[in-house]
Amino acid sequence: MDSKSSRKNISQAIIRRLPRYYRYLGELKAEGVERISSSELSSLMNVTASQIRQDLNNFGGFGQQGYGYNVEYLYDEIGKILGIDRPHKIVTVGAGNLGSALSGYQNFPRYGFNILAMFDNDEAKIGSTIHGIPVLPVSKLTSYIEENGIEIVILAIPKEEARQIIHTLEGTSIRGVWNFAHTDFEMSGGIVVENVHLSESLMRLSYEIANSERLD
Amino acid sequence: MDSKSSRKNISQAIIRRLPRYYRYLGELKAEGVERISSSELSSLMNVTASQIRQDLNNFGGFGQQGYGYNVEYLYDEIGKILGIDRPHKIVTVGAGNLGSALSGYQNFPRYGFNILAMFDNDEAKIGSTIHGIPVLPVSKLTSYIEENGIEIVILAIPKEEARQIIHTLEGTSIRGVWNFAHTDFEMSGGIVVENVHLSESLMRLSYEIANSERLD
């Protein structure tokens, strides 16, 4: 296994692809497949075999000539690289439609992404549970984070509110923010931000439609 | 304005950035800003001024030396490039938590993304409205698409169901699919697919956390 420092130069493109490797290997594992060659994985994932070899070489390889990759081993190793070999404690700020849907999303717990609470200012929601998750007042957010060792905060609130709350979050011990607010920001203190701009994804689809032709 | 064919070689990286330009220009426009230099836009967007000039040159420029960019004009032109200068008719397959939240997402109509109906097999949901949007049986999906000129289908269903439904959709006149199912696919007939893998986005955040250090 490479040390952290030797991984510093891994490109964003590879990091973007790693979860996809993880997903395909997870499916192969679930189907009972024990090993796979880079060319088989290549045709499955629609990526060239040489890219697969190059990508995985960044993390020490894992493959053996003439044998291919051990599916379970590679799955576990990529899980470690992605930091999902251990559970993550998460809270969601914003118990609206999107915040509630994300908090109850059934795919997350299987990867160890556990959403423990939602926070909202709406008196009608505070004290209730949504998808079994308690809704607490935003005034309790920082104390809840510290008392429960929360690592990730999901922001599912409008941009104006998000801009206010990030300053509060910078004073806590969280490690990352998954941001669905329609704004970009960076945070101090080494807190990592992953922005998900749903409207922009839909615009890219719109662009592709405008620049493609329907074939019948 | 460039013709379609001369835009063929625009990189995915630029296409990924265009909606972000559009968002920032929309905010400037809303604030009443009439013109902006590439260096001002650069510091606002945290992108180099030369990248901004290069990116926008792909579409014919729009800027004038010593004047900068006309905000409203550039906003409108990027809107045209993104194909959001006209409304899009959309339906959602899957009226679960995520499908409902996406269908009721308030940011979409302002860009002309209008979700007209949701489709589900759950008898308890069929005939109801969620966020004012009617829920119809999946058996009506293809006829509804043809009768209403639906252009985009949002898939918010599990991967097994998604794999089945894409074959049905290939026989319709839709132009694009916005896929939230936890699987990748391509479609025949020139139908464009934009995959949004939420779990993978959360894994990238987890990766960044595992490979960063909290600074206090």
Model confidence pLDDT, tens digit, residues A120-179: 999 999 999 999 999 999 999 999 999 999 999 999 999 999 989 999 999 999 999 999
Would you say residue B196 lies in a domain? yes
Domain co-membership, B11 together with B96: no
Query: Shortest CB distance from B105 goes to which of A83, A98, A191?
Result: A98
pLDDT at A5: 37
pLDDT at B129: 96
Percent share of chain A, pLDDT over 70: 91
Domain co-membership, A75 together with A95: no
Query: Shortest CB distance from B108 goes to which of A20, A199, A208?
Result: A199
Domain co-membership, B46 together with B96: no
- Domain count within chain A: 2
Would you say residue A213 lies in a domain? no
pLDDT at A179: 97
β pairing state of A129-130 and A133-137: antiparallel
pLDDT at A25: 93
Distance CA A51, CA A129 (A): 46
A67: left (phi over 0), alpha (psi -120 to 50) or beta: alpha
Domain co-membership, A18 together with A122: no
Residue A210 has pLDDT above 50, yes or no: yes
Would you say residue A216 lies in a domain? no
Q: Do B194 and A204 touch (CB under 8 A)?
A: yes
Would you say residue A207 lies in a domain? no
The predicted-structure confidence for B25-66, as pLDDT tens digits, reads as follows: 999 999 999 998 888 999 999 889 888 888 887 765 566 667
Q: DSSP secondary structure string, A37-64?
A: -HHHHHHHHTS-HHHHHHHHHTTT---B
pTM: 0.89
The ranges of chain B with pLDDT < 70 are: 1-9, 59-65, 215-216
B27 bridge partner residues? none
Residue A6 has pLDDT above 50, yes or no: no
CB proximity under 8 Å: A 64-93 to B: 81-84, 88
> A30 CB near a chain B CB, below 8 Å?
no
Residue A35 has pLDDT above 70, yes or no: yes
B117 bridge partner residues? B91
CATH number for the domain that contains residue A21 = 1.10.10.10
Written as six digits, the tokens of B177 are: 């699919």
B91 bridge partner residues? B117, B153
**Amino acid in the structure at residue B189:** G
- Mean of the per-residue pLDDT values of chain A: 89
Domain co-membership, B120 together with B189: yes
pLDDT confidence band for A58 (50 / 70 / 90): confident
pLDDT at B22: 93
Q: b/e string for B162-191 if b means 16 or more Cβ within 10 A? A: beebbeebeebebbbbbbbbbbeeebeeeb
Domain co-membership, A153 together with A52: no
Domain co-membership, B120 together with B181: yes
Would you say residue B149 lies in a domain? yes
pLDDT confidence band for A185 (50 / 70 / 90): confident
Written as six digits, the tokens of B192 are: 């464009």
Three-state DSSP state, B126? coil
Domain co-membership, A101 together with A56: no
Q: Which residues contact A73 (CB under 8 A, 6 or more apart)?
A: A62
pLDDT at B209: 93
Distance CA A133, CA A112 (A): 16
Domain co-membership, B92 together with B189: yes
CATH number for the domain that contains residue B135 = 3.40.50.720
Would you say residue B176 lies in a domain? yes
The H-or-E segment that residue B183 falls in is none
Query: What percentage of chain A's residues is helix, strand, coil (to nearest 5)?
Result: 45, 20, 35
- Shortest Cα distance from B43 to chain A (angstroms)? 13
The predicted-structure confidence for B71-85, as pLDDT tens digits, reads as follows: 998 899 889 989 999
- Residue from B90, B151, B207 to probe the interface with A (highest A Cβ count within 10 Å): B207
The H-or-E segment that residue A180 falls in is none
C-alpha angle B137/B138/B141, rounded to 5°? 105
Domain co-membership, A33 together with A135: no
Domain co-membership, B102 together with B197: yes
The predicted-structure confidence for A132-147, as pLDDT tens digits, reads as follows: 999 999 999 999 999 9
Asked if the ipTM is above 0.85, the reply is: yes
Domain co-membership, B183 together with B150: yes
Closest CA in chain A for residue B10: A211
β pairing state of A113-120 and A88-93: parallel
Q: How many CB atoms lie within 10 A of CB B142?
A: 16
Q: How many CB atoms lie within 10 A of CB A11?
A: 10
Q: How far, rounded to the nearest angstrom, does the alpha carbon of residue A201 sit from its chain's CA centroid?
A: 16
Residue A4 has pLDDT above 60, yes or no: no
* B166: containing domain: 88-201
pLDDT at A63: 62
Where does a domain end: A51, A80, A109?
A80
Where does a domain end: B66, B81, B96?
B81
Let me know: does A181 contact A158? Beta carbons within 8 Å.
Answer: yes
Q: b/e string for A152-178 if b means 16 or more Cβ within 10 A? A: bbbbbbebeebeebbeebeebebbbbb
pLDDT at B170: 94
- Residue from B194, B202, B216 to probe the interface with A (highest A Cβ count within 10 Å): B202
Q: How far, rounded to the nearest angstrom, does the alpha carbon of residue B207 sit from its chain's CA centroid?
A: 25
Where does a domain end: B51, B81, B111?
B81
Would you say residue A211 lies in a domain? no
Would you say residue B211 lies in a domain? no
